[in-house]
Amino acid sequence: MYKRQLQDGFIQIAFIIITIIANRRGLDTAAAVGIVEKIISFLFLVPSSMLSTVSALGAQNIGAGKRERAQRILYYAVIITVGFGVMISIIIQFISEPVVGLFTENARVILLGSQYIRGYIFDCIFAGVHFSFSGYFCACGHSEISFIHNIIAILLVRIPGVYITAKVFSSLFPMGLATVGGSFLSVIICVIAYVWMKKKQICIE
């Protein structure tokens, strides 16, 4: 439990730091980032639900000795969330400005918000994958893996990436991609951990 609380605390700190970085670029950027965060939070309901779903169903099947079925649940969750992420990412590329425009009439904020969300939206793909793996690791009793990959991604990619892209680029599109980079690193760590568990026969038949 304390690991999950500590992990959530780090994530909140990361959001605060990203908000501070956005604020330093001006009010329009701060407003755009704030709007996009609200939109992303709504769209993330599907990917984030995979953590608790895979964790609950996986634990039930592992407890019943049906470890192979638990693996299939993980695979199905990954397929579902990748499919959702790809679909919503493509759609947002075409309707980013109208979507951001639902929250403001400021043309500059709409422009910046559309740039940011067109990069950030790809996080729906990769975040959904590592959410699914995190749920599986929790079902296996190894929630520390979820904690580790999140902290590494935040400290090595997400925060530094947002800071650098905010300094170098005028467009917010690269800043959105920096967040995606953090989730991509998490996916890599999750896959490595899963392969290691499979090799060591941990929670896997």
**Residue 23: what pLDDT?**
84
**Residue 87: what pLDDT?**
96
Are 158 and 14 spatial neighbours (Cβ–Cβ below 8 Å)? yes
What tens digit of pLDDT does each residue of 2-15 get? 445 555 566 677 77
Its pTM stands at 0.87
Q: How many helices (H) and strands (E) does the chain have?
A: 9, 0
Alpha-carbon torsion, ordered 80, 13, 158, 104, to 10 deg? 70
What tens digit of pLDDT does each residue of 179-205 get? 899 999 999 999 999 998 888 766 655
What tens digit of pLDDT does each residue of 126-160 get? 989 999 998 898 888 888 888 888 889 988 998 89
Neighbour tally for 110: CB within 10 Å: 23
**Residue 71: what pLDDT?**
87
Taking alpha carbons only, the member of 125, 100, 112 closest to residue 174 is 112
What tens digit of pLDDT does each residue of 103-123 get? 999 999 999 999 999 999 999
**Residue 5: what pLDDT?**
54
**Residue 181: what pLDDT?**
93
**Residue 76: what pLDDT?**
93
Average pLDDT over residues 43-63: 85
Measured distance CA(48)–CA(4) in Å, rounded: 14
Backbone angles phi, psi at 6, to 5 degrees: -65, -40
